[in-house]
Amino acid sequence: MNIEECLLLLSAGQQIPDGFPLPAGLDTLWTHAEKELTIQPKLQRGVRPKGDEEKERIRIVRDIIRKHPELKGQSFCRQLDWRGVAVPRTWLARGCPELFDDAYRQSKPWRHCINQMKSKIQREMPKADRKSPAS
């Protein structure tokens, strides 16, 4: 077995049988390459704890949904701005305007982000707290 054949086996994820004579100099190359190609287990990432600003934003959005379930779109964003809810810092870093109303008027991608934020918070609310617009 020559070097090319050994490297081909290694790249295919196969192992050379124990005791098989490796060409000179390939034994150290093999162990180094084997270490490089071993698949590391995926790290388990924990959930990032919510900061005070995020907790307050969620509390206010829940309150708006509870008291004004009919609000949608731009009127919902105006209510967020009126209540002093800050746009998430991660959005600002990506170029989002500082007010929800301005972000909603800019359309993509902020309109989607706002709707997604509201929907996620609404899903996490107990059903008893969610009123339908008809009630």
Per-residue three-class SS string for the chain: CCHHHHHHHHHCCCCCCCCCCCCCCHHHHHHHHHHHHCCCCCCCCCCCCCCHHHHHHHHHHHHHHHHCCCCCHHHHHHHHHHCCCCCCHHHHHCCCCCCHHHHHHCCCCHHHHHHHHHHHHHHHCCHHHCCCCCC
| pLDDT tens by residue, 9-52 | 767 767 666 666 666 655 555 565 555 555 566 666 777 777 88
Q: What is the pTM of this model?
A: 0.60
Domain coordinates in residue numbering, the chain: 3-31, 52-129
- Residue 60 above 50 pLDDT? yes
